A and B are shown apart, each in its own frame.
Chain A
């Protein structure tokens, strides 16, 4: 059995709360282990906030589509946007700071995302970015009953 939820938010950082809360809700209902849910929340925030901040440099109101899919073996997050092409898989690693200086956070989010999930995939289809994140985990008994 697979359960999924589709969400549409706008390119507004505050609206990321909608997808965050939906992942919490679905993860809680289906007994996704916390050890998977927390890294997924961080990765979702990194990818969606990146889209919101950088996909539409000219501004304006745009939509970000997020699909959360939970199966017995894990969770998939699919993020779609029609902004400028951006492949997070080839994003440059954070640049180490000059000696004695503090690092700047640029690039850290995607770098962390790669470590937090089991698979980070990307494709450009019909003028849209499709980023997908997969985390494998044994999902609780609830899924078998739905």
Chain B
């Protein structure tokens, strides 16, 4: 009962603060759309690298949270590429705006692959998860990177021992 009361008070407080500070339009991101989408892509990359590390460690169920991150991110991708946001530091190709339906379809495709990976990982079925992961990079990410991103040159890395 006390717990419910705390939750209710918190919700009311959050709503009240939101109303008091809101200016009528919701501002999302840092205001630098290219930096925002590059952050999101880095997060995707880190999620995918973490998913692969978890697979090697046998933590199949743990992959689900990475896949959910990527599924959620995929929904934000189209809005992070508005018309006129191709700047010097962007690695986007003009084809994103020339072939918009294809680009949006590629983002949706990524979301579907990520959702499938998430749902399969939750079953803890290592073989089924591996079957998806084998193709995930090429099919979920590569199908968008290949037509719509200028490939980055190899990043210098510290020498390994």
Chains A and B bind each other: no
